[in-house]
Chain A
Amino acid sequence: MSRIPPVPTEGRFAVLAGSAPEGAPLDGWGALMAAAQQGNGGAYRRLLMELNEWLTGFYARRLPGPAIEDAVQDTLISIHEKRHTYDPQRPFKPWAAAIARYKWIDRLRAMRRQATEPLPEDIAVDDHEASVASAVALRSLLQRLSPGQEEAIRLVKLDGLSVREASRQSGQSESLVKVNIHRGLARLARLVQGEFDED
């Protein structure tokens, strides 16, 4: 799971690995990321796939089962967006682990915020059953998304903001807002489909 691949010995990776100053801690993943920073898609794909395995193990020890895949995906997106902050002269794994830990803490905070609270029984209500039921169902579905997905969908699809406005308001980059909407809607569709199947 957490093995560090050997430094590639062929092609462009080997050049990159070989170009590091003597004694520089350029490990296998570091060499792959250095190649990715130059735009090498093959190296990047290999790195992300190996990171996927490593991150799954990392979060499996720290998060409940349903949250693991989301956490892995969030972290991969963050690594993608922050890849320019990796210094190829330094070891890769502490850099990736710091980002994984940051996203883990972020997720724990979000889970704490989403803790349910019992409603008082004496709330006065008119008969808005259908709209209330829809709102509750929607809220319940949105809560099952990651905080980033939930926020992106709420801002763009429910509040009607543009991607740029949503990006500014949420602090997510525009590309992350788009990815979160895409992934969130796909997940919502699966959730709704699952509930239909159960019915």
Chain B
Amino acid sequence: MKTDQLVDELVTDLEPVRTRSLAGDARLLALLIAVEFGLYWLLGSGHDHMGEAMVSMPSFLWKLGSLAMLAAVSVVVALRSLDPTRSPHRGLGAIAALVALILLVGWVVDATTLHTAQPFWQRLEIADGVQCMLAIILLSIPPIVTLGWLMRRAAPTDLRGSALSIGIASAALGSFLFVFACPHSDPFYVMIWFMLSGAIVALVGRVMLPLINRW
């Protein structure tokens, strides 16, 4: 087929379109998170002593603040990376730096506020930890599906980078939602289990999304 013929076909196929905007995508995602949070709370998954925990436990505030920040930064990086002219590499670098900072602050909180003599393997609470991990992975599914759909609709030119940033953003959103239900605030526990869950979700995003979003 000659290019002129192709142009004819494309012009014939032309229909008005609604332009994609980062703000529109962000609003859709915010709505989804609000609905997911509401449903999760209504299903009785909320922390029983939330107010008390917030006031009395610096480690809870560290967990909440860190995950809120990580979720916000990674969502911005993921959504911006869907623009064909933007690369997610600098954003991924910023996320890596933020994670390092969060771990450092967690270590400081752990060292200064929790004077426990328990060995590390006991602090892991493996049975609870596995449940937390599964819950975070489940809570990450709606965001990764939504962001994956937004990726398919958009025109990312660095599929792997966008996929990784979407995986991280979904994991951060799932973890942030789970903060309100997680019975543990031991920084060591949080660092291990939340990081493990996040790594699994990010890996799934990184591997799967480029396969289904080729264009």
Chain B residues close to A by CB (< 8 Å): 1, 3, 6-7, 9-21, 82-85, 153-155, 157, 211-215
Contact = CB atoms under 8 A, between A and B. Distances in A.
Interface residues of A, number: 42
Given A80-B13, A85-B154, A102-B157, A37 B19 contact: yes
Interface stretch (A4-12, A38-46, A121-129): A38-46
Contacts of A95: 84-85
Contacts, number: 91
A68 to B, nearest CB: 10
Given A39-B16, A183-B6, A73 B215 contact: no
Contacts of A182: 1
A171 B211 contact: yes
Contacts of B11: 41, 44-45, 48
Contact of A98 (B1, B19, B157): B157
A192 to B, nearest CB: 16
A84 B7 contact: no
Contacts of B211: 171
A83 B60 CA distance: 45
Interface in A69-95: 69, 72-73, 76-78, 80-88, 90, 94-95
Q: Which label, helix, strand, loop or mixed, suits the secondary structure of the A interface? A: helix
7 contacts: A37-B17, A84-B20, A85-B84, A85-B155, A88-B19, A98-B85, A102-B84
A177 B154 CA distance: 18
Q: Which label, helix, strand, loop or mixed, suits the secondary structure of the B interface? A: loop
Going nearest first, the 6 A-B pairs with the smallest beta carbon separation are A171-B214, A39-B16, A84-B17, A98-B84, A82-B155, A102-B157
Contacts of B7: 45, 48-49, 52, 76
B16 A82 contact: no
A166 B82 CA distance: 24
B196 to A, nearest CB: 30
Given A44-B14, A84-B20, A85-B84, A99 B1 contact: no
A36 interface: yes
B14 A77 contact: no
Nearest to B154: A85
Nearest to B83: A85
B132 to A, nearest CB: 34
A81 B85 contact: no
A39 B20 CA distance: 16
Given A39-B14, A69-B3, A170-B214, 10 more contacts: A52-B3, A83-B17, A85-B84, A87-B19, A87-B20, A95-B84, A99-B157, A182-B1, A183-B1, A183-B6
